[in-house]
């Protein structure tokens, strides 16, 4: 009798116990899982201050249109340090030392170094303008110089009229310096070391 009474008691408790509600997760249709450390909105882009933005140098006056067009195209090239892109007149080499004055000797008066005053003439150089640009440091051995040279050739050949260029060189590697002869002007694409060695210290030559 005691056992029956105990079983009936527990049975009545089980039937009278209210069922627990099942918790449901509400998922918003537009909600996306986002880690706690990610900002809800993207932060606005920070621009470099004006004194740190790369700037190209001013173009000289009386510059031919084909050089201006090439310069503008190079300002859009991602491989170049824009602060090194410039166009200028070629630097004339310094005159050498004068020959020592020697008096002609012998019956035929040979060996003299003085041939009169002469007329001083400025014959100029090979080119009227020189375009120089440096690739970003660390990219000179990764094909940056070759890519810029291809861009220069493509730009000049598409001009109206096209600029006459020598055949494309098949040589691999430029050892930090590639030069393109465009007739009246030359284009030098340089690494940082080549620019500092050959174009920044020309007075020491």
pLDDT bracket for residue 168 (50, 70, 90) = confident
- Tell me if 169 is assigned to some domain: yes
The pLDDT of residue 190 is 96
- Looking at every residue in the chain, the average pLDDT score rounds to 77
Q: Please, are residues 130 and 71 in contact by the beta-carbon 8 Å criterion?
A: no
In the predicted model, is pLDDT for residue 33 greater than 80? Answer: no
Task: Give dist(CA 30, CA 139) in Å, integer.
Answer: 44
Name 59's Cβ contacts closer than 8 Å, sequence gap at least 6: 68, 71, 87
Q: pTM surpassing 0.75?
A: no
Q: Please, are residues 101 and 162 in contact by the beta-carbon 8 Å criterion?
A: no
- Tell me if 28 is assigned to some domain: no
Q: What is the CATH number of the domain that holds 158?
A: 3.30.460.10
Look at the chain and report how many structural domains it folds into. Answer: 1
**H helices within 58-118, ranges in order?**
65-74
| Cα end-to-end distance, the chain, whole Å | 121
CA 169 from chain center: how many Å?
22
């Amino acid at each position: 009798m005691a056992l029956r009474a105990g079983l009936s008691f527990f049975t009545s408790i089980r039937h009278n116990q209210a069922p627990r509600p099942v918790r449901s997760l509400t998922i918003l249709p537009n909600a996306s899982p986002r880690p706690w450390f990610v900002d809800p909105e993207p932060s606005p882009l920070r621009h470099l201050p004006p004194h740190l933005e790369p700037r190209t140098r001013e173009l000289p006056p009386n510059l031919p249109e084909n050089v201006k067009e090439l310069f503008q195209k190079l300002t859009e090239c991602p491989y170049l340090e824009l602060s090194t892109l410039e166009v200028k007149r070629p630097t004339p080499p310094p005159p050498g030392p004068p020959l020592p004055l020697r008096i002609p000797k012998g019956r035929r008066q040979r060996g003299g170094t003085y041939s009169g005053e002469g007329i001083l003439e400025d014959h100029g150089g090979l080119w009227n303008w020189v375009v120089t640009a440096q690739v970003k440091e660390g990219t000179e051995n990764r094909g940056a110089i070759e890519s810029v040279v291809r861009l220069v050739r493509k730009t000049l050949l598409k001009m109206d009229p096209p600029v006459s260029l020598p055949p494309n060189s098949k040589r691999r590697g430029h050892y930090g310096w590639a030069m393109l002869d465009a007739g009246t002007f030359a284009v030098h694409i340089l690494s940082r070391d080549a620019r500092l060695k050959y174009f920044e210290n020309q007075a020491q030559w």
